Amino acid sequence: MQIEPTPEIDLGGGGMRTRIVSMALLAVFGAIAIKGLTVALSGPGEIVTQVVNTEAPARRADIVDRNGGLLATSVTAYSVFADPRAIGDAALIAGELARVLPDLDVERIEARLSNKARAFAWIERGITPRQRQAVFELGLEGIGFREETRRAYPRGTLAGHLLGFAGADGQGLGGIEYAMDDRLTSDPEPLFLTIDANVQFSLEAELSAAIGEYEADAGAGVVLAAQTGEVLGMASWPPLDPHQATSLDRDDPARLDRASNAVYELGSVFKPLTVAGALDAGAIRPNDRFDVREPLRIRGQQIEDDHPIVGRPTSFEIIADSSNIGTVKIAWQMGTRRQQEFFSSLGLFSRSPIELAGSARPLLPEKFDELYSATASYGHGIAVSPIAFASAFASLANAGETVTPTLLMAPTRQRSPKRVMAAPTADLVVRMLRKAVVDGTGSRAEVGGYRVAGKTGTAEKPIAGGYSDTENICSFAAVFPADSPEYVVLIVLDSPKAGQDRGRTAAWNAAPTAGRVIERIAPILGVEPQFDEPVGSTPRVRSVADRRGTTL
């Protein structure tokens, strides 16, 4: 039998490959062994602190006043997080963090770190660079950082309600920050507001002083440019610090913007509007006289004046001496339907179109019958926001035209005024308002040189089951300068108290507050003082500042 020869095996090339593979495996295992030895000797030093700098969200645009003054901006901040799976003793780590982050809720953070099912947990957001460095130097296991942006409001509480605030993730949550959120996140250019920071500061300062001086519970104020509708100042008290807004309880009084988000029965500041509507409709003439000697009774309700008025007053005296009876009789001459239509044309039956999401709707009577027509004529039974009323009142200063109130500067904006009364009617009512300051209930609002025209308003404060006998909503609505009106000022005080030398009606509190505001802002706005009074006018004082602390 023939045997096939065995094929020759090439041991040269195959042996070389085997040796190469063996050497590679030895190198891998050697590296592993060295790494293990290193960890055993020095501990897990490379995973002590995770420094994670994720890409920060897009920067929100700055918010500035009409002159470019900075009101809100974005700044770099850091947030601390943890991976609970890499945490050893949760209580120990929480305690160490609390040493450098004093506001930390230790129990809450310990609970978060103890949950090993989570891979991520926030420790604290929005810390300073110094706090970040302090945490880093603790060298704690499983702790990391994230770079973010935070909103900063360099002027503190100034215009706090108007500006609103943003959340930890940069989203707008209130005020302009919320209303203009898309604009602020999509366009890096600064957002210009119509407010003047100096006017705003003056308004807030005098409002705060009035709250203290008259022991009021709260208040609001508006300064408006009558021809353009631009809001130059809008304030609410208690003030709001946007930096602290997210930590406040939902029912905290500081959260409510009383200038736009609240409504009030403002009282007799409505009387000039009632008179304007009746004059413009031809229902009365300026020299018509009205018998106001006897109270009126409508559906069992009695309407009377706070103080007797001598003689048969014209509409000039009815405004100056604030007669409820006279105003109701003027409203009767006008008629309920025309009164409703006129108030509606002024925007008093709808929410203000100001660029704030929380702009409040008015509270109106279910049925505008004879009784409600009468009470609405002097500002009772109808509750509106201060910004809505200021806009309506501005028609008197704007030759009978209303304009939409705005907080946003827009140089190319097309004005869309709506005529609600004839220019001579508006001019005549402003003259009535001037008389109310020179010779009537608004005398404490007079400011030497600036020709204030305005009206007091005192309304019993609504309470459960009716109206309070001891608390009022006091207001003063003014236009100035009276001979060429440009600006509207409205002050509203909630429950001011009587004092040893003063009453609790608007003549004693809201009127002098408005005067002090005008005295401060008129020079800022470039209004030139003029001390020549029209014939027959005898202002009682030259300056509101002279009256502070007097017994008038």
- Are 148 and 204 in the same domain? no
Q: How many domains does the chain have?
A: 2
**Range picked from 303-307, 345-349, 539-543, 548-552 for highest mean pLDDT:** 345-349
The parent domain of residue 534 ranges over 198-239+256-547
Q: Is residue 206 part of a domain?
A: yes
> How big is the chain by its Cα radius of gyration, in Å?
35
Q: Is residue 14 part of a domain?
A: no
Q: CB 378: neighbour CB atoms within 10 A?
A: 26
Residue 20 has pLDDT above 70, yes or no: no
pLDDT band at 102 (very low <50, low <70, confident <90, very high): confident
pLDDT band at 22 (very low <50, low <70, confident <90, very high): low
How far is residue 299's CA from residue 366's CA, in Å, rounded to a whole number? 16
Q: What is the pLDDT of residues 382-438, one digit of tens each?
A: 999 999 999 999 999 999 999 999 999 987 777 788 999 999 999 999 999 999 999
Q: What is the pLDDT of residues 177-224, one digit of tens each?
A: 999 999 999 999 999 999 999 999 999 999 999 999 999 999 999 999
Residue 37 neighbours by CB under 8 Å, 6+ apart: none
- Percent over 90 (pLDDT), the chain: 66
Type of residue numbered 56: A
- In this predicted structure, what is the pLDDT of residue 42? 39
- In this predicted structure, what is the pLDDT of residue 465? 85
- Are 460 and 365 in the same domain? yes
Residue 143 has pLDDT above 80, yes or no: yes
- In this predicted structure, what is the pLDDT of residue 322? 95
Is the sign of the CA dihedral 278, 279, 284, 288 positive or negative?
A: positive
- In this predicted structure, what is the pLDDT of residue 544? 41
- Are 261 and 159 in the same domain? no
Q: Is residue 36 part of a domain?
A: no
Share the mean pLDDT of the chain: 87
- Are 180 and 272 in the same domain? no
Say if residue 462 is preceded by a cis peptide, omega within 30 of 0.
no
Q: What ranges make up the beta strands (E) of 46-97?
A: 63-64, 70-82
CA 31 to chain centre: 65
Residue 535 has pLDDT above 90, yes or no: no
Q: Is residue 25 part of a domain?
A: no
- Are 491 and 352 in the same domain? yes
Q: Determine contact, residues 487/494, Cβ cutoff 8 Å.
A: no
Q: Determine contact, residues 441/450, Cβ cutoff 8 Å.
A: no
Q: CB 299: neighbour CB atoms within 10 A?
A: 9
CA 300 to chain centre: 41
Q: Is residue 363 part of a domain?
A: yes
Give the active site residues. Answer: 268
CATH number for the domain spanning 104: value is 3.90.1310.10
Pick the residue with more confidence: 307 or 473? 473
Residue 438 neighbours by CB under 8 Å, 6+ apart: 446, 533, 537, 538, 539
- Enter the DSSP assignment of 384: B
CA 355 to chain centre: 11
Decide the pairing of beta strands 121-127 and 70-82: antiparallel
- Are 184 and 229 in the same domain? no
Quick one: average pLDDT of 288-297?
95
What's the first-to-final CA gap in the chain, in angstroms?
A: 145
- Are 350 and 435 in the same domain? yes
- Are 306 and 174 in the same domain? no
- Are 296 and 377 in the same domain? yes
Domain limit, last residue, from 177, 193, 209: 193
Q: CB 305: neighbour CB atoms within 10 A?
A: 17
How far is residue 232's CA from residue 480's CA, in Å, rounded to a whole number? 14
- Are 218 and 179 in the same domain? no
How far is residue 261's CA from residue 347's CA, in Å, rounded to a whole number? 16
CATH number for the domain spanning 393: value is 3.40.710.10
- In this predicted structure, what is the pLDDT of residue 232? 98
Q: What is the pTM of this model?
A: 0.82
How far is residue 390's CA from residue 406's CA, in Å, rounded to a whole number? 12
- Are 322 and 263 in the same domain? yes
- In this predicted structure, what is the pLDDT of residue 79? 86
Q: What is the pLDDT of residues 314-337, one digit of tens each?
A: 999 999 999 999 999 999 999 999
Residue 114 has pLDDT above 60, yes or no: yes
- Are 146 and 228 in the same domain? no
How far is residue 268's CA from residue 538's CA, in Å, rounded to a whole number? 24
- In this predicted structure, what is the pLDDT of residue 16? 52
Give the lowest-confidence range in 44-53, 74-83, 231-240: 44-53
Residue 440 has pLDDT above 50, yes or no: yes
Quick one: average pLDDT of 516-544?
73
Helix (H) or strand (E) holding 396, with range, is: helix 386-397
Q: Determine contact, residues 504/472, Cβ cutoff 8 Å.
A: yes
Residue 47 has pLDDT above 50, yes or no: no
Q: Is residue 48 part of a domain?
A: no
Q: Is residue 417 part of a domain?
A: yes
Q: Is residue 245 part of a domain?
A: no
Residue 487 has pLDDT above 90, yes or no: yes
pLDDT band at 19 (very low <50, low <70, confident <90, very high): low
